[in-house]
Amino acid sequence: MKMLTKKIEKTLNDQINAELYSSYLYLSMSADLNGRGLAGFAQWMKIQAQEELYHAMKIYDYVLERGGTPSLGGIDAPPSKWKSPLEIFKAAYKHEVKVTGLINKIVDLSIKEKDHATNNFFQWFVKEQVEEEASADEIVQKLKLVGSSGNALFVLDKEMAARPPLFTFPVSGE
């Protein structure tokens, strides 16, 4: 017995794909930062990519739990180069604002469809998006503050490296 309406199921599947794209985007940003010798910033973005993958899986599992069928679509290639670390984090902040809009539309739809379970489930994402936007904006503000100072960027890179991963992957040969 399906508990999700077709409209909600489609919207949730679209969101799974949006979260997977977010993971892909942040992994691309990590690669760009790594290529600049900013391993701390790169690590921060790699962990952000993990977090977005976690979000996709959380929604995927919810769709299954509610009797729906996850449907995975193609994921567009993200950009691979940005002008500067500041531009990368500005793009990340802008992307998080976009994702917030997508989450809010799901909440609005769940209210319209009287799907209280989905509404309740997505309240976690509403709160999460507040944190996601604030986190990206905080780094944008710090990067604006340090400007082109190599020493300050070095210190900030070390600060970004302190972000703990959600999970670790085994390295080949281990």
* Tens digit of pLDDT at every position of the chain (174 positions): 568 999 999 999 999 999 999 999 999 999 999 999 999 999 999 999 999 999 999 999 999 999 999 999 999 999 999 999 999 999 999 999 999 999 999 999 999 999 999 999 999 999 999 999 999 999 999 999 998 778 899 999 999 998 888 767 667 665
Residue listed under structure tokens 């921060």: 44
Predicted confidence at residue 147, as pLDDT, reads: 86
Q: Got the DSSP string for 42-103?
A: HHHHHHHHHHHHHHHHHHHHHHHHTT--------PPPP---SSHHHHHHHHHHHHHHHHHHH
Predicted confidence at residue 65, as pLDDT, reads: 96
Residue ranges of the domains in the chain? Answer: 6-161
d(CA 47, CA 39) in angstroms, rounded, equals: 12
d(CA 44, CA 26) in angstroms, rounded, equals: 9
Predicted confidence at residue 30, as pLDDT, reads: 98
pTM of the model: 0.92
Which DSSP category does 170 fall into? Answer: P
Backbone angles phi, psi at 87, to 5 degrees: -65, -35
Predicted confidence at residue 26, as pLDDT, reads: 98
CATH of 6-161, one of 1.10.1670.10, 2.40.50.140, 3.40.920.10, 1.20.1260.10: 1.20.1260.10
